[in-house]
């Protein structure tokens, strides 16, 4: 039986929980561990909650800082390898089943349940704001990159466009924060197309509660908040 997104997430959470127990047993807070590891406290939290996958290097770092025994280290590394194999098996599903089936498995009924959605993007326009042309280019690039045999880009596109209807539902709120380079990024086939549409502008309809901001770096490397208007940043 092929792995599901729920079984993969459960495996990540189990490993993260064991790393958290190791840290607590060492008498370290999340911030204290982050300071010793030289990383952000958010990374510690994300790994221990299973939101972010733990790499071999991450597991070794937890074991070193928390002074884990050789046996504990070996057991945690073995579990990390099992989680990694599960992820590879799940990732390879789309090569046989196509992009649309895989994204449905990943999201499940999430969009029916979500009431407050917040996202931070550093590379691409969030899917809920992408135009059909931008979305098609991204999906096509993903298909080629992963070597997906099934050409179901059109079906995956229809599925994703359908999700944008959630933006119009009054009982949901969406917050999008993106870095400035996202506004200028173009999928590989459209890098030189200045007029290529990248995102829908924030809706002016009072029924819609969405907020889009971009983190812009000026020459002094200071971050400012701007509002996205028709795919280009303008002062808020």
* pLDDT for res 211: 59
CA distances from 122 to 73, 80, 187 (A): 34, 27, 14
The DSSP letter of residue 196 is -
Q: In this predicted model, which residue has the larger pLDDT, 210 or 127? A: 127
The range of the structural domain enclosing residue 135 comes to 99-235
* pLDDT for res 156: 86
Residues 83 and 112 both lie in one domain: no
Residues 36 and 12 both lie in one domain: yes
Condensed to tens digits (0 to 9), the pLDDT of residues 124-165 reads 888 888 888 888 888 888 888 777 778 888 888 888 888 888
Q: In this predicted model, which residue has the larger pLDDT, 111 or 29? A: 29
Out of 91, 123, 140, pick the residue that ends a domain: 91
Residues 71 and 151 both lie in one domain: no
Residues 26 and 116 both lie in one domain: no
CA distances from 17 to 23, 47, 188 (A): 10, 9, 39
Residues 38 and 128 both lie in one domain: no
Residues 127 and 206 both lie in one domain: yes
Residues 9 and 60 both lie in one domain: yes
pTM above 0.85, yes or no: no
Statement: residue 213 has pLDDT above 70: no
Question: How many distinct structural domains can be found in the chain?
Answer: 2
* pLDDT for res 5: 58
Q: Which residue has the tokens 């990943």?
A: 106
Statement: residue 20 has pLDDT above 50: yes
Taking residues 11-23, report their average pLDDT.
Answer: 94
If phi over 0 gives left and psi between -120 and 50 gives alpha, with beta otherwise, what is residue 221?
Answer: left
* pLDDT for res 222: 38
Residues 180 and 69 both lie in one domain: no
* pLDDT for res 77: 94
Q: In this predicted model, which residue has the larger pLDDT, 187 or 219? A: 187
Work out the pLDDT band at 205, boundaries 50, 70, 90: very low
3-state secondary structure of 176: strand
User: Which of 34-38, 120-124, 172-176, 212-216 is predicted most confidently?
Assistant: 34-38
* pLDDT for res 123: 81
What b/e string do you get for 130-156 counting C-beta neighbours within 10 Å, with b at 16 or more? Answer: bbeebbbbbbbebbeeeebebebbebb
CA distance 231 to 221: 22
Out of 91, 119, 144, pick the residue that ends a domain: 91
Out of 91, 107, 122, pick the residue that ends a domain: 91
Residues 229 and 115 both lie in one domain: yes
Residues 70 and 157 both lie in one domain: no
Taking residues 88-104, report their average pLDDT.
Answer: 69
Domain containing 64 — which CATH number? 1.10.260.40
* pLDDT for res 165: 87
Residues 106 and 153 both lie in one domain: yes
Residues 179 and 158 both lie in one domain: yes
* pLDDT for res 85: 84
């Amino acid at each position: 039986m092929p792995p599901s997104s729920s079984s993969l997430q459960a495996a990540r959470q189990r490993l993260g929980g064991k790393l958290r127990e190791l840290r607590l047993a060492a008498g370290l807070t999340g911030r204290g561990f982050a300071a010793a590891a030289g990383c952000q406290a958010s990374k510690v939290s994300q790994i221990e909650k299973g939101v972010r996958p733990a790499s071999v290097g991450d597991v070794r770092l937890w074991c070193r800082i928390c002074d884990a025994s050789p046996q504990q280290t070996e057991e945690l590394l073995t579990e990390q390898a099992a989680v990694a194999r599960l992820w590879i098996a799940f990732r390879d599903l789309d090569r046989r089943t196509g992009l649309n089936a895989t994204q449905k498995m990943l999201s499940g009924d999430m969009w029916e349940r979500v009431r407050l959605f917040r996202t931070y993007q550093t590379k691409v326009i969030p899917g809920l704001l992408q135009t059909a042309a931008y979305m098609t280019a991204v999906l096509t690039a993903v298909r080629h990159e992963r070597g997906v045999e099934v050409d179901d880009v059109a079906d995956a596109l229809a599925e994703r466009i359908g999700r944008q209807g959630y933006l119009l539902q009054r009982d949901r709120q969406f917050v999008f924060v993106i870095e400035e380079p996202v506004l200028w990024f173009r999928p590989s086939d459209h890098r030189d197309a200045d007029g290529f549409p990248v995102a829908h502008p924030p809706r002016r309809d009072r029924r819609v509660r969405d907020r889009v901001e971009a983190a812009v770096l000026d020459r002094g490397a200071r971050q400012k908040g701007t509002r996205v208007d028709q795919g280009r940043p303008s002062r808020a």
